[in-house]
Each structure stands twice: as C-alpha cells, then as structure tokens.
Structure 1
Amino acid sequence: MSPSASALPVVAIVGPTASGKTALSLDLAETLGGEIVNTDAMQVYRGMDIGTAKLPAAERRGIPHHLLDTRSVREVATVADFQAWARAAIGEIRGRGRIPVLVGGSALYTRAILDRFEFPGTDAEVRARLEAEPTPSARRPSTGGWPGWTRRPRSGSSRRTAVASYARWR
C-alpha cells in the first residue's frame, strides 16, 4: 500500500438495530467515493438475510460491499478470521484510492478491525471437550423449551444458536 493510500481515512458506523446505519453508510460511500465493509458478525453468512436485515443487492446503489454472504452457516468464522478478512478488504479498497466505510452493529468486530486486538489460537481438543459438556439445565431429565435438541447451547453463544437454528429450519 502506498503512503498516500494508507493516509486515506477509515469511516466506521456502529449503532443499534434500526438506527439508520445502512442509509448513512450508503450516503457516505457515495459522497466520499467509498466502498462498504460489513462488520456485522452474522451478515458474513449466506442465507442469513432476514434475521440480520441484510441489504438486498438491488438496494446497494451500485456501491461495492465486502464481507457479505462469504461463508456457509456451517463454516466457523471467528472474530480473528473476520479481523483478517476485513483488514485485507480495507487494504484493497485503500489501494484503489477509495475510502472504506465500515458498518455494522457488532462493536467487537469493528474494534477488532480498527484497534490493536490480538487473538490467541484455539486448542481443538479443549474446545471439543468444553462443547461436549452439557450445560446444567441439560443435565436435568426435562428441560422443556428446546424440542429436537440433544443439549442446550451454552448461554452467550449467539453465533452457535443462530447458526444451529437456521440450519435446523432450512
């Protein structure tokens, strides 16, 4: 990346659902000559359009969008993976002399892209052991509310829950 390309700003728009982030990002990208980089953790998955309020291609005003529909819901995508993909997209956009406009509701993902966040690798054996452990509610004979599940996903595991729910109803 040339020194002039690295001097180009990166615009980040974050906020709660239905706060106008998408419309603002489109207006800014048009005005600044930018391209949009998704920073919503779920919009990276193909088929997760309705639950994520993903902007249909026909409504993107011809503005290039990055990190949308790039993964199957069955593929694991960590914040560290997302960080690398987004930083690569930002470098490519700046290399073309355009301004990256980051937009999404996931502050963790946006901060991981913009700030100095370093993620240690994972240990597959430890992860498998922890994921195989039933949660306390799954140990009871009747937990109710989770028909079809052999064990309840851990609380706080929104990605796993969302992906599992989508995969089940597909």
Structure 2
Amino acid sequence: MPPWPPHHRADYPETAGEEFQENPVKPVLALLGPTGSGKTALSVRLAEVMDAEIVSADSMQFYRGMEIGTAAPSAELRARIPHHFVAFLDPLESVMAAGAFQQMARERIKEIQRRGRQVVVVGGSGLYIRALLDGLFEGPARDESIRARLRREADETSPAALYERLRRVDPLYAETLTSPNDLVRIIRALEVYELTGLPFSA
C-alpha cells in the first residue's frame, strides 16, 4: 500500500504553491514533452553535466510493469543517474493522486538539494507538473477578509487553537497535516468550511 497518509481529495489547497514559496528551494530544471520525444535521453545527459538527480513527473511511469509503453528510463540509465518516482508503485495496489505526488516530490527535491545536488524534473503529465510547481486548486475563491481574521486569531491565541477548531469541523483533513502549526493549510481549510459549510476533506 502507498507509504503516504490517506488523501481524501486529489489535490491540495490553492495555497500549496504559496507555501512552497514560503519554504523556498533552489531552482530546478523542468524538461517537458510528450512520450517518445527524447526527454529521457536528454535528461540523463543534462543530469550528468549538472551533477543532478532526476525527478519524474510522468504519472504513467510511477507504476511497475509499464516501462515499455511509457518510454520509462531503463534499469541501466537508472543505475547511471538516480531517478525518483519511476516504477515504484504496484498498479494493482496503489494510485498516486496529484496532491500526494505534490507533497512527496517537493520533500524529495528538498532532500536532494540538501545533499548539494541539482534536480531535473522530467514529465509529460501536465497535471502533475502543475501540482508540483504551482499547486492545485478546487473550491471557492480566496476570501481575504476571512483569511485576515483567521490570521489575527492565530496571532492573538496560537496556531494550535485554529488547528483544534479544524479538528472539530474536519477531523479527516486535520489528520493529514504534519504539524498543528501549518497555518497555510489550516487557514485554507477553515476558509473553505466557512464559505461552503463543507469540510475540506469532502
């Protein structure tokens, strides 16, 4: 089964991109194009020149047993250059949602860069590239007055107080947060609840 927490939506808040900017990483090179366009060979050459590791954002290459039909890098190429998120899931047991990929790939990129190496992102799946670089959005538009009020409440009390409120109205989503101080996601989830009356995990 997948090694990440359960996700009740296929995306993350609109502010996921905002959070990525608040916790910046070094720039990455993104190589995009359709299957069979030569991305794999070019990415390996670039990675060798740049001392980089490759992060795949091709959703079909995530699954074992589909290497030929998806033009996935061969075992020989993966031995030459570290590839991440290639042939690592069983298609009969796991499904990689765009939001789950976003979270995992961003953490992996940070880990690679902490080791002093560059990153080449390679993909043909526009949704997953967009999730990684920009974040995904589904739900009502931002309401700045609600956000400002919630930020004031966090300043006057604590982020943990807002987290406890989130646990009461949306315990499923609250469980997916790695920290009760994750104000970006807490505020977005409470904002959606106030605007729609529905939990963000719905």
Does TM, normalized by the shorter one, top 0.5? Answer: yes
SS at 1:70's partner residue?
A: coil
- Among 108, 118, 125, the alignment partner of 1:99 is 118
Aligned residues: CA RMSD: 2.2
Query: Hey, what's the Cα distance between the residues in 2 that align with 1:61 and 1:44?
Result: 17
* Conservation of the 8 A alpha-carbon contact between 1:80 and 1:119: no
Q: Equivalent pairs: percent with the same residue?
A: 50
SS at 2:62's partner residue?
A: coil
Provide, for residues 5-48 of structure 1, a one-character-per-residue CA deviation record: whole Å limited to 9, x for no partner: x5532010001122221111111111111000011001111111
Q: Shift of the alpha carbon at 1:119?
A: 6.1
Equivalent residue for 1:73?
Answer: 91
Q: Shift of the alpha carbon at 1:60?
A: 3.5
Equivalent residue for 2:39?
Answer: 21
After superposition, residues 52-63 of structure 1 pair within 5 angstroms as 52-60=70-78, 62-63=80-81
Q: Shift of the alpha carbon at 1:61?
A: 5.7
Query: Hey, what's the Cα distance between the residues in 2 that align with 1:16 and 1:110?
Result: 13
Q: How many residues align?
A: 117
Structure 1 stretch displaced more, 39-48 or 15-24: 15-24
Q: Structure 1: which 5+ runs fail to align? A: 1-5, 124-170
Provide, for residues 114-144 of structure 1, a one-character-per-residue CA deviation record: whole Å limited to 9, x for no partner: 11325679x9xxxxxxxxxxxxxxxxxxxxx
After superposition, residues 11-50 of structure 1 pair within 5 angstroms as 11-50=29-68
* Conservation of the 8 A alpha-carbon contact between 1:35 and 1:101: yes
* Conservation of the 8 A alpha-carbon contact between 2:102 and 2:135: no
SS at 2:99's partner residue?
A: helix
Q: Shift of the alpha carbon at 1:65?
A: 0.5
Equivalent residue for 1:138?
Answer: none
Q: Structure 2: which 5+ runs fail to align? A: 1-23, 140-169, 173-202
- TM-score where L is the length of structure 1: 0.62
After superposition, residues 121-160 of structure 1 pair within 5 angstroms as none
Compared CA separation, residues 7 and 113, structure 1 to 2 (3 A):
closer
Provide, for residues 92-130 of structure 1, a one-character-per-residue CA deviation record: whole Å limited to 9, x for no partner: 111111111000111211111011325679x9xxxxxxx
Find out whether 1:87 has 2:102 as its counterpart.
no
* AA aligned opposite 1:84: Q
Query: Hey, what's the Cα distance between the residues in 2 that align with 1:106 and 1:43?
Result: 10
